[in-house]
Homo-oligomer: A and B are copies of this chain.
Amino acid sequence: MIKNAVRIKMKEEVLRSEKKIAAANRRRLRRAAVAGLNIIGSPGAGKTSLIEAVAGRIGKGVGLGVIEGDLASDLDLRRLNAIGVRALQINTGRGCHLSPAMVASALEEMPLEEIDLLLIENVGNLVCPANFDLGEDAKVAVCSVPEGDDKPAKYPLLFLEAAVAVLNKTDLIAACGFSRRRFYRELKSVNPELPVIEVSCRSGKGAVSWARWLRNRVKEKRI
């Protein structure tokens, strides 16, 4: 019989060790003046598409690196490699989110001196990744129109933790009967300060604003 006190102590120990690794990742990125963003959203919300959209728009002066988190497959890695983006794949197996240790291993493999912007695409999951600090500068909440206008109310945690929300697939607003009014009203009740960037990766609409937001994160890092 294992006592509750032991259980709690163990949990705390694991969390402490994860926090330490996340802090080390953060120091490492800071030393290399890399802006690191943790991109979180449901499966199929368009996280990889948003990275593809940035690749051509971020500007030549910004070195882009990507860490791809997926349960299985290297499909996303291949999409990014096909357009010349420097990316590393992490397969988590049954793991529902990236861990600080996984990111630390990936950082070992990356030429950080050539990178200004590191996009960490987390496992497709609107719930678990929001609970874990990887050492990033900020979290990006990605949601998409077909998921429905009720997501902020039903999955509030990510929208509380994020520095920005990207609402993707705006080309489907009419086809999905998505209510912008309801989405913004519910988002405001969860986190009134959260900026939102509307994007359609399909049409390219809004991609410039998204790239600009990222470029500003890189600039802040250089100051």
Among the stretches A52-60, A108-116, A120-128, the one at the interface with B is A120-128
Selected from B42, B124, B154, the residue in CB contact (under 8 A) with A71 is B154
This chain: copies in complex: 2
User: Per-residue CB proximity of A122-151 to B under 8 Å, as 1/0?
Assistant: 011111100100000000000010111011
Contact A172 B153 (CB under 8 A): no
Among the stretches A1-9, A24-32, A205-213, the one at the interface with B is A1-9
CB-defined contacts of A9 to chain B, threshold 8 Å: 2
| Assembled-state Cα–Cα distance A124/B96 (Å) | 13
Given contacts A94-B157, A155-B124, is CB(A150)–CB(B42) below 8 Å?
Answer: no
Interface centre among A43, A124, A177 (most CB of B within 10 A): A43
A72 nearest CB neighbor, chain B only = B156
| Assembled-state Cα–Cα distance A156/B125 (Å) | 14
